[in-house]
Amino acid sequence: MNRTAPPTDAQLVDFVLREARMLDEQRYDDWLDLFAEDGFYWMPLAPGQADPRLHTSLMYEDKLLLKVRIERLHGLRTFSQQPGSRGHHLLQQPTVEARDDAARRYTTRTSFHYVETRRDEQALYAGWATHTLVPDAAGALRIELKRVDLVNCDAAFGNIQLFM
């Protein structure tokens, strides 16, 4: 395993900003490559939810499930995406919440507003994203966990088509 210098806070913040831009630009395959092989995308169903396995979540997807969703978004027979949904993130400046250089694990938190739109329908979501980042063998940052906490996570939602 390559032991490169630990990332700076600025590099961690830049990673989060680039990740959101990839989603806004619908570069889903590039976005998926940001995940560690054992990475997860988690959207809790209840405020303060501590465990995705013991409680129902809005989403709790490993890299394989994320890949399946991305393939569905690209699919010509995905009629719910004809025309496709679009999304836009408005992010507050991400903050580095924790850094453990010895364990090579870093946590950021970013408050956001996110708009998802398709045809004449538009949905606004607000919350915060917590990224747990780890370097891979080559030293590139990867997402071990992206947790998206919506302010109203326990509300009734329609279909959330894209990734926040």
The domain locations on the chain are 9-150
Nearest to 72 by CA among 82, 62, 60, 58: 82
Tell me the per-residue pLDDT of 66-93, one tens digit each, with 9 for 90 and over: 999 898 887 666 656 567 678 999 999 9
User: What's the CATH fold of domain 9-150?
Assistant: Nuclear Transport Factor 2; Chain: A, (3.10.450)
Tell me the per-residue pLDDT of 15-52, one tens digit each, with 9 for 90 and over: 999 999 999 999 999 999 999 999 999 999 999 999 99
Task: State the pTM of this model.
Answer: 0.91
Tell me the per-residue pLDDT of 93-118, one tens digit each, with 9 for 90 and over: 999 999 999 999 999 999 999 998 88
